[in-house]
Structure 1
Amino acid sequence: MTKLSVNINKIATLRNSRGGNMPNVVQFAKDVQRFGAEGVTIHPRPDERHIRYQDAYDLKPEVYTEYNIEGNPIKKFMDMVLEIKPTQVTLVPDAVSALTSNAGWDTLAHKQFLTDVIKEFKQNGIRTSIFVDPDLKQIEGAKATGTDRIELYTEAFAQQFALGNKEAILPYTACAELAYSLDLGVNAGHDLSLDNIQYFKENIPHLLEVSIGHALISESLYLGAENVVQMYLKKLQ
C-alpha cells in the first residue's frame, strides 16, 4: 500500500492569517495520524508565510509516523533538518519568491551541489528525496547524486487529467519504472486529489508515498478531515 503523508502547510496558512494558534498545527498533525495518515509533511520557506521554523521543532515529538520536511537546502534549512533529524528530507528548488513549488531539480546541472547536500543528510541518518520533473534523464541524474528516493512533480499530470487526457500519466509511469530499476524509491506529490489519486496510484508501479496538502485540506472543508483521510487511504490500497 502506498503511504499517505499529509502536508499541513495550509493549516499554518489559516492560523497565520489571524495570528494566535487557531487552528493548531501540532494538534492537526496529531489528528491526521490518528485518522490513519502514515506521515506528516511540512514545507517551511524562508519568509515563514505558512509553516514556521519553530513549528518544525514543535512537531518533532508529536509525529510518530513518518516526518517529511521539504525545502530548498539553504543553510538555515539544512541546519534545522540536521538538528531535528526527520524521517525524510525532500529537496525542492524553490525560489524565495515562489508561491508554491513549480519545478523539479535539474539533477544534471546541480549534480555536485545535490551530491554534497545529500551526503551530509545521509551521514546523519536522514532519508533523502529529490523533487523532479517526469523526465528520464533527470531520474538518471538523481541516481548519480546518491539520493534514496525521488518525488515526481505531478502538477502536469493533474492538469491534463482534469481535461480528460489520461495519457498524461505515461511519462510518470516510465520514470517510476526507471527509478525502480535504478534502486530509487518513488514518491509523488503536487495537485494530487481525490479525483485523480486512484488513477495515478493504479498506473505508477512501486509508488511508496504521496504527499498531499492543498487538495486534502480543501476537500476536508466539505467532507471533514477524518473522512477525507480515510477516502485517500481507500483509494491508495
Structure 2
Amino acid sequence: MTTKLSVNINKIATLRNARGGDVPNLVKFAKDVQNYGAQGITIHPRPDERHIRYQDARDLKSIVHTEYNIEGNPIRKFMDLVLEVKPMQVTLVPDSIDAITSNAGWNTIQHKDFLTEVISEFKKNGIRTSIFVDPDLAMIDGAKEVGADRIELYTEEFAHQYSLGNKKAIQSYIDCAVRSNELEIGVNAGHDLSLENIEFFAKEIPGLLEVSIGHALIAESLYLGVDNVVNMYLKKLKQ
C-alpha cells in the first residue's frame, strides 16, 4: 500500500495575502502540485480568513481532480461551506478561533453528542468525515462511537520526539492505528511531518492511508523546488 500525499496549501494563501494581491495564485499552485504528483489538496479555512478564504474553497472545487480535503472547526459557517462545496473529505479539528495552528485533537468522549450530530450531517451529504485526534486509544474507540469514517492522528509530539532521537515515541501512534484498523476506521495523519521523519512514520504505521503536509513541504520547497519536494515525499511514502 502506498500512502497518499495531500498537500496543505494554507501557506500559499498566507504569502498571497501578505501583499493583498493574487501572487502566488492559489488555484494555479493547486493545479501544479497535482500535476507534480500530489494525490490530494488540503485547505483549512479559519473564521478570520487570515490565509485560506472561504471563496478559495469554492474556487478550488472545480480544479481539484485528486482528493479534496477541507479541515476546520465545525462551527455553523464552516459546516455550511463544506455542505456547499462538497469535498471528498472533511476533517474536523477542534481549534479555537485565535489558534495559530491546530494544537490538540478531539476528546471524542466528552464531545460525543456534538460530533455524532455533525458527522451524521456530513455523511448524509456523501462527504467522508475524518476527525483529528491525539494518539490515545480511548479517543479511537470514541471515534468509532461518533461514526467517523477516518481519524487523523495529530503527529506534533511524534515529530518533536523524533527530532530528539526518540524513535520509541512512535509506539502510541502504532497502537492507535492498529486499533483503528480493527474498528474499520481509516487512518490519516498530519502536523509537523517532514522529509526528515515521514519515511520512518509511514513505514511504522499500519494501514496509513493519507498524510496531510503543508508547512514543512512549503518551507522545504523554498530550497529544493516544489516539483522536486513533492516527488521526494512520494518516493518516501512508497512501501
TM range (shorter): over 0.9
The one-letter code sitting in structure 2 at the alignment partner of 1:234 is: K
- Partners of 2:198 and 2:25 lie apart in 1 by 27
Q: Report the counterpart of residue 152 of structure 2 in structure 1.
A: 151
- Partners of 1:46 and 1:34 lie apart in 2 by 30
Gap runs ≥5 in structure 1: none
The one-letter code sitting in structure 1 at the alignment partner of 2:77 is: K
Q: Report the counterpart of residue 23 of structure 2 in structure 1.
A: 22
Deviation of 1:82 after TM superposition, in Å, equals 0.3
- Partners of 1:15 and 1:94 lie apart in 2 by 23
- Partners of 1:130 and 1:236 lie apart in 2 by 22
Q: Report the counterpart of residue 113 of structure 2 in structure 1.
A: 112
Gap runs ≥5 in structure 2: none
Deviation of 1:176 after TM superposition, in Å, equals 0.2
Q: State the secondary structure of the residue aligned to 1:17.
A: helix
Dislocated runs of 4+, deviation >2 Å: none
The one-letter code sitting in structure 2 at the alignment partner of 1:122 is: K
Q: Report the counterpart of residue 190 of structure 1 in structure 2.
A: 191
Q: Deviations over 1:145-172 (max 9, x none)?
A: 0010000000000000000000010000
Q: State the secondary structure of the residue aligned to 2:96.
A: coil
Deviation of 1:215 after TM superposition, in Å, equals 0.1
Q: Report the counterpart of residue 91 of structure 1 in structure 2.
A: 92
Deviation of 1:44 after TM superposition, in Å, equals 0.1
Superposition RMSD in Å? 0.3
Q: State the secondary structure of the residue aligned to 2:62.
A: helix
- Partners of 1:28 and 1:174 lie apart in 2 by 36
Deviation of 1:111 after TM superposition, in Å, equals 0.4
Q: State the secondary structure of the residue aligned to 1:50.
A: coil
The one-letter code sitting in structure 2 at the alignment partner of 1:221 is: L
- Partners of 1:161 and 1:77 lie apart in 2 by 34
Q: State the secondary structure of the residue aligned to 1:47.
A: coil
Deviation of 1:52 after TM superposition, in Å, equals 0.3
Q: Deviations over 1:62-81 (max 9, x none)?
A: 00000000000000000000
Q: State the secondary structure of the residue aligned to 1:40.
A: strand
Q: Report the counterpart of residue 125 of structure 2 in structure 1.
A: 124
Deviation of 1:56 after TM superposition, in Å, equals 0.2
Identity %: 73
How does 1:48-59 map onto structure 2 within 5 Å? 48-59=49-60
Q: Report the counterpart of residue 214 of structure 1 in structure 2.
A: 215
- Partners of 2:66 and 2:73 lie apart in 1 by 23
- Partners of 1:202 and 1:62 lie apart in 2 by 31
Deviation of 1:92 after TM superposition, in Å, equals 0.1
Q: Report the counterpart of residue 75 of structure 2 in structure 1.
A: 74
Q: What TM-score comes out, normalization by structure 1 length?
A: 1.00
Q: What TM-score comes out, normalization by structure 2 length?
A: 0.99
Deviation of 1:21 after TM superposition, in Å, equals 0.2
Q: State the secondary structure of the residue aligned to 1:59.
A: helix
- Partners of 2:144 and 2:33 lie apart in 1 by 32
The one-letter code sitting in structure 2 at the alignment partner of 1:230 is: N
Aligned length: 237
Q: State the secondary structure of the residue aligned to 1:69.
A: strand
Deviation of 1:185 after TM superposition, in Å, equals 0.1
Q: State the secondary structure of the residue aligned to 2:221.
A: helix
Deviation of 1:124 after TM superposition, in Å, equals 0.2
How does 1:156-195 map onto structure 2 within 5 Å? 156-195=157-196
- Partners of 2:152 and 2:227 lie apart in 1 by 25
